[in-house]
Amino acid sequence: MTWPPLREELRGIEPYGAPQLDVPVQLNVNENPYGPSSAVVADIATAVAHAATTLNRYPDREFLALRTALAAYLTPDGGGTAVAPEQVWAANGSNEIMLQLLQAFGGPGRTAVSFAPTYSMYPEYARDTSTRWVAGHRASDYSVDLDAARALIETERPSVVLLPSPNNPTGTALPQHAVSALCETVGDDGIVVVDEAYGEFRREGVPSALALLPAHRNLVVTRTMSKAFAGAGLRLGYLAADPAICDAIRVVRLPYHLSTVTQAAALAALRHAPELLGRVDDLRAERDATVTWLREQGLEVADSDANFVLFGTFADRHAVWQNLLDHGVLIRETGPDGWLRVSVGTADEMAEFRDALTHTLKELP
């Protein structure tokens, strides 16, 4: 007998994880390069210190204050309709949000669908909840082929459809009419999850799926404080959906899953939302400049509404990745074969990236 007695389908599988290397320029996990100001740090510290006085008690299981603040933050993207606190749910990162959704609406005998290339954790959520996983394919420009998507959904009848917008790793946003069409195709047989982890980085005029919530009770829109809010270390993800979906998640969530400290820190960060989001426009501009520069080098580049850029193609992308690393720049070896992904950093970091890539293109055959 093989030790330990692991589930058979988990044997030999490596855990998820991007390289965490100590290099001068780290542009591989789509973090916001601008940390919180001293004023934000002080407010979070004060809030956490106050929360620490009650750590002998369990946290607020329903975290209503946080849900109210998140609803207020989301409302401007709701297309004129207010997002109510009972429509909001939060957890320890959007990873846990996704896992809870699969626990509640997936499971044995049920199917989850997405369209590749897409976020590499989706099939892992399905695996961990014993949900059957089916991946369709995107068009050559990485958009979702609506006719093919509807045909796949009609064939597979999934209980969960996962649609990242902007998509990771390509940065491609999904138009509202496509979201509506897929919600209608799925109907009451399942839910459609639009993962807007990078939603705040959308280009001007690209709407959020939040505006569609009143029209589709099977729609779930997820967000995170990891990216635009510069809160990757906070671990706070959340969703907006029909209140019945939030109620369903309560059945599978762990008791007191959101700590008192996390709730206090997230509330403090939301109080400083304008400041924390103040660099989003800078990052958008840097992203667009990076797309233009990469194309000027003769490379293929996917249009991006996120804080990263997918580019290629390379006969040996690992050699390119390694050469950049040798020059002190860490990016991500992910996505379709031959492609690489670079997170958008500060102006100085992106200058280092351009310099390193220029040398790499000259040094490699």
Sequence spans of domains, the chain: 19-34+279-363, 38-272
Please give the model's pTM, rounded to 2 decimal places: 0.96
Q: What is the pLDDT of residue 1?
A: 65
Give the closest residue to 287 by CA, choosing from 195, 168, 203. 203
pLDDT of 365 higher than 80: no
Share of the chain above pLDDT 70, in %: 100
> Phi and psi for 250 in degrees, rounded to 5?
-55, -25
Say how far residue 30 (Cα) sits from the centre of its chain.
Answer: 9
pLDDT at 143: 96
What does pLDDT average to over the chain?
96
Inform me whether the pLDDT recorded for 37 exceeds 70: yes
- In the chain, the N- to C-terminal Cα span, in Å, equals 49
Within this chain, domains 19-34+279-363 and 38-272 share the same CATH topology: no
Mean pLDDT over residues 315-324, rounded?
97
Question: Is pLDDT of 19 > 90?
Answer: no
| Nearest to 293, CA basis, from 230, 204, 361 | 361
Residue 300 predicted with pLDDT over 80: yes
The CA distance from 82 to 85, in Å, is 10
**Which CATH architecture best describes the domain 38-272?**
3-Layer(aba) Sandwich (3.40)
Burial (Cβ within 10 Å: 0-12, 13-18, ≥19) of residue 92:
middle
DSSP conformation letters of 79-131: TTSPPPGGGEEEESHHHHHHHHHHHHH--TT-EEEEEES--TTHHHHHHHTT-
- Does residue 361 surpass a pLDDT of 90? yes
Fold (topology level) of 19-34+279-363: Aspartate Aminotransferase, domain 1 (3.90.1150)
- The answer on pLDDT for 55 being more than 70 is yes
- 159-216, pLDDT tens digit by residue? 999 999 999 999 999 999 999 999 999 999 999 999 999 999 999 999 999 999 999 9
